[in-house]
Chains A and B, each alone.
Chain A
């Protein structure tokens, strides 16, 4: 009897305790396993946009022009408002086509003549910054003076002003703030080599195409990116890179689904004949490197169904080889007394094997092939000029691959396919030497370089782009088009042009960044320029005068004038550190680039 009472009391206490804990609003306790809810929804980034308002009858002509400029900024989202600023006749003829002109913020507006009356002219004066082409390429203006645009306004019957004509005609005029609000620099990834969905090369790599995409309020930015990826590369890479996506593909949606990103495509793609590795690489890098997938799994669907009839097509974060963008780890070398020596982390290393490691005075401006197996150099007059090549091996020997005088040939540059490139200034042609073919140097068509004073030619590490210096103050970047059989150089565009300065050297840091060593009267600077959109960053300078530079990934080496020192740029300290001091050190080398 007593025990049953105790049991009942214990039960009552347990019930009260349980009920008491249940009455708490948020119960305490733990630890408990947590269900992970995925990485949120990074498909769309927050953004703001201009809201265009129609002109008010009481506005002054200056305000109408300012409102027109704001309406241009909002044109893509609200196209109807812009026409309310124009006279009916102007609204009929005005077209928003063509490149978007980007000018600096706060342009000046001035009245030309009287500030009221039936017709008023207002002049806008602004600093041109860039041009955004129809293919979303961002083309910076370099060395261009202010532009002025006249707006002619007429007064209507109600007393309000409307724009009758714009001096420059069609096209949108945006300020930097407008671009910053509405556009996002975006990296698209295409496959190196000529276009085509199939796998043509043994080791196709990805090439970055940097474009500026306009944020659309009605769709997430990931969808905008994928849509643009499907449209193909920009003009700069046209013919030089390929995509696994055939013409006519479109994206239905890109959405975040639990722990994965689902890309729903539509179009004439044949899953069975597809170069799946290429598709994986293009989508994975495009989504990841624009902060859309953030390492999450990507699933590709076709018309809302699994890509393959039975299985889904899933791109896992870890199932791709990492060398799609090329390796950024490679030993560094420099030239000491004509001998190529390795450059360790701390100090100078040993000379390389073979004749390249022997001191001599016959060769200058050395370049190393992919993997460091071959060394090319420009022969001095003592060697009879020309481009000389030797294998880095004990039994290697110098061979002249290309004939020519030293001053007529630009320093050699290796392509990652093993071919050697140079520019023959005497004949005005690009020469390419393919040892595999057994033939001598071949001329490569480069219509964009005709008649130009090409002083340097460097092939990028991905083997797609070519940078040349024209004279002493201009850098142009083109692409190798036409495939391996009959390559040609094209799509040349000016990357940077300097005034009152001299370009001393150029070097590829990777597939999309070019380093330019610029010498002015009093100072030197190394500028890192994104070849996609010309975005430029100036590295901290050193008080020593630099002669040549070479770079790979995060490493940047420079040789000082007078063969005194090899310096390395320290990213952490943002300064230059001496690596080799004395010993006739010159010509730092990384393979390719």
Chain B
């Protein structure tokens, strides 16, 4: 394989891997964010963790610093004291006259002839019965031959340069009472690792000749080890404390959150209609009082709902009864009105006009009464479907045929977009035809004489009919209000087709009875579109609609404006949760 191809492959692979990682990371972040938003417990524990870590870190640093300072200060003070004592001893010894020369016979056991040797024996413990000191000493006198000594393995090379220079400056200034201290990592000869060492340098004023520089090397290994142990202990304790606090926060949050979660679940069940749902009340604390209040609220709510249901029932019964009761006298009135209407030509113009008006209003009254009866059947739950497998295209054509007279009056033309294949569905023919008729009447009435486009669509699960007009359209928020009973876009506007104000409400109920959706889209100046979506099989759940709620031309225009993702208008009614375009 040529290298370039291999490189491309490798690049792709790498890109894919990065993409996968990025996707996974994004997913994980999303999951964490979701968990964070949804879990009060997680929020409490996380907050506690963050706060406690901050506190523990601050306290730990402070404690460690304090202990460090006190231990090191104590060591330095002790070292300074010992160094001072040694310098005094050395100064005293050097001020003495040298001993007489030792005799050869007992030279091996006599004290050293050089007072510097004698005092070094005492200081370093290298004399007879001496014990090892914890520090090493270097006495340096570079101006006098044979006047420099060291204990152990220290040598002049081990003295930090800055310290030596400091002492040299002091010697020049004749200041002998200010010893200097220096802490450094020193690697003594024969050792592989440097050691932390406190070096104290002091000067011994000369009686004659040059001064003696005395350096004390105090190892700080023990202190370092101890401080390291203390730091480790602080870290371990701090870590344990943080974990403990997190556990405590978890438990406390759980104690609080669990009843809240139970209350939420109870509220959800209550909202779902289970009005008998109650919380268990334990104790007398705030959560118990919350449960009590919740229970009281649920009880009151249930009572109110019950009362409202009863009232609603009474009202519906009243409307139904009134409608029924009005029907008999209306029939009589209608018969009388028909007679009058038929004989209107014999009347005077005034009376004839009155007969016509009465006829028209009676028709409207009848329609209204019929609608009221219909809607009261819905309210009473008495509406049933008379299902039949029909071709929706036929239903549409029949509805259009019924609407043609009105369309002609409004100079409105229909534009039909029907599929070639039959759109079979199990529907109640009469109700669907009524829905379509309502929609068409509505479109004609508000279409301002422009074309009304009727589109039929179908897919595997559903069939849909969209009725589009190019009238004044709907204002924002009116998409759902159009289905309200007796709602009117412009109350001042006169009805020309004698609508009862219940047509769309009944249509909506009809669609719902089929398990379908009836939705509206509208935009000021762009007209409106109503879409009826019905499942092919009655009662089946709808997952989507074959037709778009927003008219395609509007959609395309939005796309052209550069919006890659179409803005969805809020869907109305039942289909809101399953909206797709």
Contacts and interface: CB of A to CB of B under 8 A. Distances in A.
Contacts of A47: 124, 126, 151-152
B549 to A, nearest CB: 72
Interface stretch (A5-13, A49-57, A148-156, A470-478): A49-57
A48 B150 contact: yes
A481 interface: no
A218 B188 CA distance: 9
Contacts of B101: 104-106
Nearest to B133: A46
A66 B141 CA distance: 14
A350 interface: no
A153 B155 CA distance: 28
Nearest to A66: B145
A381 to B, nearest CB: 42
Contact of A48 (B107, B141, B151, B189): B151
A59 B145 contact: yes
A70 B117 contact: no
B477 interface: no
A219 B125 CA distance: 18
Given A47-B151, A176-B108, A219-B190, A56 B143 contact: yes
A68 B146 CA distance: 9
B102 interface: yes
A129 interface: yes
A51 B130 contact: no
B152 A217 contact: yes
Contacts of A411: none
Given A66-B145, A218-B190, A46 B112 contact: no
Contacts of B139: 51
Interface string B475-517: 0000000000000000000000000000000000000000000
A245 B126 CA distance: 32
Interface string A527-555: 00000000110000000000000000000
B382 interface: no
B132 A45 contact: yes
A50 B112 CA distance: 13
Contact of A52 (B108, B121, B137, B148): B148
Interface string A27-53: 000000000000000001111111111
A79 B130 CA distance: 29
A177 B113 contact: yes
Interface string B354-389: 000000000000000000000000000000000000
B142 interface: yes
B349 to A, nearest CB: 104
Contacts of B120: 48
Interface residues of B, number: 41
A63 B145 CA distance: 6
A46 B151 contact: yes
B192 to A, nearest CB: 11
B150 A104 contact: no
B290 to A, nearest CB: 31
A48 B144 CA distance: 18
Contact of A46 (B125, B155, B156): B125
B145 A50 contact: no
A105 B113 contact: yes
B104 interface: yes
The size class of the interface chain A forms with chain B is: 35 or more
A255 interface: no
B461 interface: no
Contacts of B11: none
A105 B137 CA distance: 23
B318 to A, nearest CB: 66
Contacts of A181: 117, 126
Interface in A57-98: 59, 63-64, 66-70, 73, 77-78
Contacts of B114: 105, 177
A53 B148 contact: yes
Interface string A496-540: 000000000000000000000000000000000000000110000
B131 A180 contact: no
Nearest to B141: A53
B168 to A, nearest CB: 15
Interface string A152-184: 000000000000000000000001110011000
Contacts of B133: 46
A120 to B, nearest CB: 15
Contact of A67 (B103, B132, B138, B145): B145
Interface string B90-123: 0000000010011111011000111001001100
B189 A217 contact: yes
A380 interface: no
Nearest to B189: A218
A45 B133 CA distance: 10
Contact of B112 (A64, A67, A69, A180): A180
A448 to B, nearest CB: 27
15 contacts: A44-B132, A46-B151, A49-B151, A50-B149, A53-B145, A53-B156, A70-B146, A104-B101, A105-B102, A105-B114, A175-B113, A180-B108, A217-B152, A217-B190, A218-B189
Given A77-B155, A105-B107, A535-B108, 5 more contacts: A45-B132, A51-B150, A56-B142, A68-B145, A69-B145
